Amino acid sequence: MSLSPASPAGRVQVPRWLPKPTNASAVYLLAIEFLVFGLWIPGIYFTSATFQLVFSGQVVAGMVALAVLIPFTAGAFDLSAGSMAAFSLVIIAALEQHTHLNIVLGIVIGLVACAFVGLLSGIVTVFFRVNSFIATLGMSQVLTAAALLISNNQQIVGVFGQHFLNAGQGNWLGIPRVLYSLVAVGLVMWYVLDWTPLGRRMFATGSNVQSTRLAGIGTNSIIIGSLVASAVVAGLAGVIFGAQSGSYSISFGAPLLFPALASLFFGATQFKNRPNVWGTFVAVFALAFGVQGLQLGFSGGVYWLPTFFNGMALLIAVAFAARAGRLPFRRRPARTGGGDQTANGTQGQGRTHPGDASAVEQTSA
C-alpha cells in the first residue's frame, strides 16, 4: 500500500487514496456512524425505511442550508432563511385557500415575494450599512409576524391538490422525488460558484471586499444579489415542505435555522478551504444519519441527544479544521485607519482563500 510521505513522529499516516481527515471529516463521521449503528441496531438502522426517511426528511433542511450558503460565499449571513421558507409556504397556502389561482402561479407569487424581501435585506445591509447578521435576524422576525398575520395564527390544512402532493410524497426509481429537486438546485449552485466568473467574484467579495472593489467588481450588487438568491432558494424549501406535509404549520420555519447553519459551517471545512455545495450536502446527511441512529437506538425518550449530537459534531469538526489552519473566512485583526467592511461587518483586509487573489484578477479582466 502506498502511503503518504513521512511525517513527524507520532502522526498517523493516511493512505494517499483516502481523503485527509482535515478535508473530509464529515465523510469519516458518516462512516463511523454506519459502523457504530450498524453494529448496535443493524435490524432497524440499515433498512430501506431508514434511508427513505432520512433522504426525504432532510430535503427541506438541505435546501435551507444551500440558501444560507449563497450569501455566506459573499461574506454575508442570512438568518432569515428558515422564516423565509415559512413565509413562502403561508403565501401559497393562503392563495390556495382563498382564491382559485393555479398552484404554479401561487408558487411563483410566493417566490417573488421572497425575492422582494431578500432585496430589502440586501438594501438594508449595503446602503444602510447594517450588519447582515442583524439585518436578516430582524427580517426573520418581520417574516414571522407576516406569516402569523396571513394565517391568522392558525394552521392551514387540506388546501393543496393531489398533483402537488404527489410531487412531494412519491418516489421515482426508489428515490424520493423531492431529493431530485435538492440535487438539481445543488448542481446549479455548484456550477455557478465553481465554474463561472460570478462565482469567483462572490468568493473574492467574501474573502476581501476592499480588494475586490478596487479591482472594479461591483461588490454591492453581488451582496444584494446573493441575499435575493438565498431568499428564493429558502422559498423553494417552503414549497417542498408544503408538498410533503400538505399543510402550513405555525411551528414551521424557525427551527430550520440551526441545522442549516450547522451544516453550512461543518460543510465549509470539507473538501475545499472554503464553503462549497458538496461539503454542505455531506454535512447535512452526516448529521441526519447520526441523529436518526440516536433516535432509533434510544427510543425511550432521550430527547436531548439529537441536539447534543448536532452541536458536538459541529464543534469537533470546526476545531479539527481550525487546528489544521483550514477554517474558512478567517481574518486578521482589523487594521486601524481604513478599510471597507464586508456585509458581516468585518474588515476587508482578511486572509484570502487559495486562488481568490487570482480570481479577482481574472474577473476584473
**Domain boundaries defined on the chain:** 25-328+340-364
pLDDT of residue 348: 46
| Helix extents (H) in 74-176 | 81-98, 103-127, 132-151, 162-169
User: Could you tell me which of 8, 16, 47, 71 has the C-alpha nearest to residue 264?
Assistant: 71
Contacts of residue 6, defined as CB under 8 A and 6 or more positions apart, other chains included, come to none
Our CA angle for 314, 143, 252, nearest 5°, is 55
pLDDT of residue 350: 43
pLDDT of residue 117: 98
Amino acid 323 reads: R
Number of C-alpha atoms within 13 angstroms, CB side, residue 314? 17
- Centroid of chain to Cα 355: 23
Q: Grid cell 487559495 — which residue?
A: 354
Q: Is 92 left (phi over 0), alpha (psi -120 to 50) or beta?
A: alpha
pLDDT of residue 274: 84
User: pTM of the prediction?
Assistant: 0.85
Three-state secondary-structure class, residue 77 = coil
- Give the three cell numbers for residue 353: 482563500
**3-state secondary structure labels for all residues of 83-110:** HHHHHHHHHHHHHHHHCCCCHHHHHHHH
- Give the three cell numbers for residue 242: 408544503
Distance set, CA 332 to CA 272, 337, 346 (Å): 20, 15, 10
Contacts of residue 315, defined as CB under 8 A and 6 or more positions apart, other chains included, come to none
Amino acid 245 reads: S
pLDDT of residue 310: 72
pLDDT of residue 225: 98
- Give the three cell numbers for residue 85: 421558507
The torsion angles phi and psi of 223, rounded to 5 degrees, stand at -65, -45
Mean pLDDT by runs of 10 across the 365 residues of the chain is 49 64 81 92 91 94 97 95 97 95 96 98 96 96 97 94 91 90 97 97 92 93 98 98 95 89 86 89 93 83 75 70 52 45 49 44 47
Sort strands 247-248 and 156-157 into parallel, antiparallel or unpaired: antiparallel
- Give the three cell numbers for residue 207: 474573502
* Adjacent-strand bridge partners of 172: 175
pLDDT of residue 170: 83
For 25-328+340-364, which CATH class? Answer: mainly alpha
> How far is the C-alpha of 106 from the C-alpha of 86, rounded, in Å?
14
Distance set, CA 256 to CA 33, 61, 180, 261, 337 (Å): 23, 6, 20, 9, 40
pLDDT of residue 26: 84
Distance set, CA 21 to CA 68, 267, 269, 281, 326 (Å): 25, 13, 10, 17, 12
pLDDT of residue 365: 47
The torsion angles phi and psi of 129, rounded to 5 degrees, stand at 55, 40
